[in-house]
Structure 1
Amino acid sequence: MIQPLHDIRVLDLSRVYAAPAGAMILGDLGADVIRIEPPGGSDSMRDWGPFLNGESTYYLSANRNKRSITIDLKSEEGKLLFFDLVEKSDIVIENFKAGTMKKLGINYEVLKEKKPGIIVCSVTGFGQTGPLSELPGFDPVIQAMSGLMDVTGNPQDVATKVGIPIADIITSVYVALSVVTAIRQRDMSGEGQYIDLSLLDVQVASMANVASAYLNTGMISERKGNQHNNVAPYQVFQTGDFAIMICAGNDGLFKKFAAALGHPEWGNDSRFITNNDRKKHENELVILIEEVLKTKNSDQWVDILSDAKVPVGRVNNIQQALDQEQVIARGGIENLLHEVGEVKLLASPLKHSGLNVRTRMAPPTLGQHNEEVLQELLQLKKKEVSILKENNVL
């Protein structure tokens, strides 16, 4: 089956997570993604452990379905090589500090002169405009500035970041979406364009109901730990052994939940009939629920509540999460042959009836495809590639 981006080529100049993971999604959809770094490498993710036979598992998580070449873009010869590759490509993705592409002489205005249909996607912490545009942006800083940390964690504790680089991860999806949208527009107009993506823009836009509550009512949401600002019961509860998450998100679900716990009378209790009632009497309700839940273990309650169609799940660590039958049945993990041996990676979650999403290549080692790419796309001879290496262009 032909993949939707099989005829699209991406030059990925990016590092760390947000932009590289966005390019990876395009590779999952069939694009030929060529990762370009300087000869000595530039991605600090390669230095972040833990390691599998010397290869960073962090780096592996954002770079499947790519080829890797090295080019010194500060050298004139390297720049000319890059321009030749641009003419045979559709997309350039970069996440240098604002202004760096212009200093290198490879910014969008220069590239579109060489190929009018080129699409350039720039990913930065704060965007190309505004008073903070020249500052570096790291995921935890973005989480802090966006308001996300202020609504995460227990109310009595300091604000808490999310345990994964969530601003980077959400931005990576917007990278892929923006690029696919730009390709569609180019199909209609024949023109390329410049995409300016900011981690802060993305994370602020992702504040969803918290932002809407403030903008429309002035309500500033508070940290509630594992409870919810607006809904009850909607939190983590301790059972006889492990904790479980329960989301009785509406009045009908609450009645099912109460009945499953053996207390159908709660559904008609004036303190608990509506969600507003339950929020007003949340502390009382939580005490009643906790007393019942501690009488059985987590597996028993998950079975009972699942049978009652009440949303519930055990609070798993990563081992337990990846060992779940549901994750295995859906093909959530894949084994790939890598230069350092077999590696296990998370698979793309995209599953369409007419979409062939698959991992064709394991994440590449630095410069692994220098000869392959330059011979294939620029018709350079093996000796010419060797000379470029000797001159430290590659």
Structure 2
Amino acid sequence: MTDPADTATRRSRPLHGMRIVEISSYVASPLCGMTLAQLGADVIRVEPVGGAADRTRWPLAESGTSLYWSGLNKGKRAIEVDLSAEAGRLLVADLIVGRGDRGGIVVSNSDRFPELSFETLSARRPDVVHVLLTGGRDGGTAVDYTVQAATGFPLLTGPENAAGPVNSLVPAWDLAAGLYLAVGLLAAERHRLLTGEGQRLRVALEDVALAAAGNLGYLADAQLNGTSRERDGNHVYGTFGRDFATADGGRLMIVALTARHFRDLFAATGLTEVVSALSGALGADFDEEAERYRHRKVLGELLAGWFEAHTLAEAEEALRATRVLWSPYRSFTDLVADDARLLRDSPLMAEMDQPGVGKHWAPGSPLVLDGEQSPPAAAPMVGEHTEEVLRDELGLAAPALAKLRENGVIPPPDGGRILQKARSGEQS
């Protein structure tokens, strides 16, 4: 009889059996690997001896362990290899092209090693799927924040009176690029399943941002209408939406996308007759989205007066009876307050014990497949699975592993973890 738990696991982990070698750092490519690991793929993260540079990126746990790194690398295996040595690079190449129909897949954000290039790997395994993230389309370097600067968004972000550009705290292009990498990899792997052919996939961070600006109509607007967009604070461009402060210092974001939302909002605040009179005085039909946006400031001031005379609790009670889109503003500390009640009650979250961090609530996969989703799994410590992977995936016996250690291609057993503990002030 089939165990229901096993069935649920299979549903939420449909990529079980796929093996991916990841040589990456920071956000986009690690997010790609983690997304696929949460769907069941065996993702083997390759790091230099001692760990990659992003293992110390803030925020940090009290031990010095990076919460950032741990968050983006959940559920992977990690090996430590001296990539500065040819023998180390060839070892990783062996791992990429190694046994199994579902292997032969690599994700990277660097093409500096010839031994790990598409041309070299595909000569050894013609069906290899080689996925590479670059900064620019020409292969040049870029990061999310420089791409933000290059594509116009920071000049539209922030309050109306801001004097300079305002970058987004959220690395949106890194996040989008990571998901594009994952989608592209799955498309290439499907192509391989259907044809037996490998594929070379490239995603440029600049292209991701440029595509977003084009897909949202911003580039066409500038080309065809000569429109010079200006900052508009927290107003939602093209519709009616903005933030409002309450009498007790609270603040809400409210969006009225439709005419129904708009009518509900003014009915809930007792301003229906006032806004009707305003409509007549301005000759504006507020059933039209463009008219609501055009007169957003005067409409906003009407509502601001109401919210400033009511507490946050009173405003929330009034809005709950409507179909208006709204939410109070919360800080990260607000989200985890009250013994993590909000996190504990979310089906996305589960309590996880991360080495170097301890127990905390962490997200699993946001994808819900037949009612099931993959829970979070701890991120690996530096080199945690080096010998396990080389033994099981490449068939290396103890003498061969000892030779690699002797030559400095891989560290001694637990060497990377000892170094990681020393860096974070833990006792080995």
The question of a shared fold, defined as TM-score above 0.5 by the shorter chain, is answered with yes
For residue 365 of structure 1, report the CA deviation from its aligned partner: 1.0
Give the match's secondary structure for 2:253: strand
| Alignment pair present for 1:100 and 2:112 | yes
Letter in 2 for 1:151: L
Question: CA-to-partner distance for each residue in 1:121-165, whole Å, 9 max, x for gaps?
Answer: 1112113x2xxx33x212111111122212211121122111122
Distance 1:326 1:311, change over 3 A: farther
Q: Say how many residue pairs are matched.
A: 383
Aligned to 1:79: 89
Alpha-carbon offset, residue 52 of structure 1: 4.1
Distance 1:348 1:148 in 2: 29
Match of 2:299 among 277, 285, 291: 285
Q: Which residue of 2 aligns with 1:154?
A: 159
Residue 40 of structure 1 corresponds to which residue in structure 2?
50
2:319 is aligned, of 279, 291, 305, to 305
Q: Which moved more, 1:79-88 or 1:362-371?
A: 79-88
2:37 maps to 1:27: yes
Choose which of 18, 21, 37 in structure 2 pairs with 1:8.
18
The runs of 5 or more residues in structure 2 that have no matched partner are: 1-6, 411-428
Query: Does the 8 Å CA contact 2:336/2:342 hold for their aligned counterparts?
Result: no
1:238 is aligned with what amino acid? A
String of CA shifts for 1:35-92, please: whole Å, max 9, x gaps: 0011132333424332342311111121001000012233232233222211232311
2:260 maps to 1:252 = yes
Aligned counterparts, 1:119-268, within 5 A: 119-127=129-137, 129=138, 133-134=139-140, 136-157=141-162, 158-207=164-213, 208-232=216-240, 234-240=241-247, 241-268=249-276
The aligned residue for residue 424 of structure 2 is: none
**Superimposed CA distance per residue, residues 70-122 of structure 1 (whole angstroms, 9 cap, x where no aligned partner):** 122332322332222112323111112xx5133xx320011011111111111
2:96 corresponds to 1:90 = no
Q: Which runs of 5+ in 1 are unaligned?
A: none
Give me the whole-angstrom Cα distance separating, in 1, the residues matched to 2:42 and 2:331.
Answer: 35
Deviation at 1:251, TM superposition (A): 2.1
Q: Output the CA distance in 2 between the equivalents of 1:249 and 1:173.
A: 27
Alpha-carbon contact 2:154-2:166 (below 8 Å) kept: yes
What is the alpha-carbon distance in structure 2 between the residues aligned to residue 300 and residue 209 of structure 1? 38
| Pairwise CA distance, 1:221 | 2.3
Q: 1:382 to 1:266 in 2, by over 3 A?
A: farther
Query: Which whole-Å CA distance do the structure 2 matches of 1:174 and 1:238 have between them?
Result: 38
Letter in 2 for 1:109: E
Q: Which moved more, 1:137-146 or 1:202-211?
A: 202-211
Match of 1:296 among 310, 335, 352: 310
Q: 2:4 aligns to what?
A: none
Deviation at 1:182, TM superposition (A): 1.0
Aligned mate of 2:285, from 268, 273, 279: 273
Deviations 1:308-340 (A, max 9, x none): 111110011112235586654332332222332
Q: Provide the rounded CA distance (Å) in 2 between the counterparts of 1:376 and 1:352.
A: 30
Root-mean-square deviation (CA, aligned residues, Å) is 2.1
Mapped to 2, the partners of 1:20 and 1:51 lie a distance apart of: 20
Q: 2:379 corresponds to which letter in structure 1? A: P
Amino acid at match of 1:85: L
Displacement of 1:354: 6.1
**Do the aligned partners of residues 221 and 40 (structure 1) sit closer, same or farther apart at CA in structure 2, a change above 3 Å counting?**
same
Residue number in structure 1 paired with 2:331: 317
Question: In the alignment, what sits opposite 2:121?
Answer: 111
Provide the rounded CA distance (Å) in 1 between the counterparts of 2:62 and 2:77: 20
After TM superposition, the structure 1 = structure 2 runs for residues 359-374 of structure 1, keeping only pairs within 5 Å, are: 359=376, 361-374=377-390
SS in 2 for 1:51: coil
Name the structure 1 match of 2:409.
Answer: 393
User: Are the aligned partners of 1:251 and 1:273 in contact in 2 as well (CA < 8 Å)?
Assistant: no
1:378 aligns with 2:376: no
CA distance in 1, matches of 2:400, 2:46: 19
Q: By how many angstroms is 1:378 displaced?
A: 1.4
Query: CA–CA distance in 2 between the matches of 1:154 and 1:124?
Result: 32
Query: Do the aligned partners of residues 217 and 176 (structure 1) sit closer, same or farther apart at CA in structure 2, a change above 3 Å counting?
Result: same
Distance 1:167 1:52, change over 3 A: farther
Other structure's SS at 1:137 match: coil
* Residues 343 and 361 in structure 2, CA contact (< 8 A), matched pair in contact too: no
Residue 186 and residue 291 in structure 1: after superposition, are their counterparts in 2 closer, same or farther (change >3 A)?
same
**Distance of 1:183 and 1:168 partners within structure 2:** 22
- Tell me, in whole angstroms, the C-alpha distance in 2 between the residues paired with 1:124 and 1:149: 22
Asked if the contact 1:39–1:392 (Cα under 8 Å) also holds between the matched residues in 2, the reply is no
Residue of structure 1 in register with 2:375 after alignment:
358
- In the alignment, which of 345, 355, 360 is matched to residue 329 of structure 1? 345
Matched AA of 2:329: V
Give, as a single letter, the amino acid of the residue that structure 1 aligns with 2:319.
Answer: L
Larger mean CA deviation between 7-16 and 378-387 belongs to 378-387
* Distance across 1 between alignment mates of 2:345 and 2:370: 17
TM-score by length of 1: 0.91
Q: 2:234·2:243 contact (CA, 8 Å) conserved in 1? A: yes
Give how far 1:199 is off. 1.0
Residues 1:27 and 1:179: Cα distance change in structure 2 (over 3 Å): same
Is contact 1:239-1:296 (8 Å) kept?
A: yes
Give the AA of the match of 1:347: G
**Structure 1 residues 339 and 50 mapped into 2: Cα distance closer, same or farther (>3 Å)?**
closer
State the AA in 2 paired with 1:206.
A
Give 1:367's aligned amino acid: G
Amino acid at match of 1:388: L
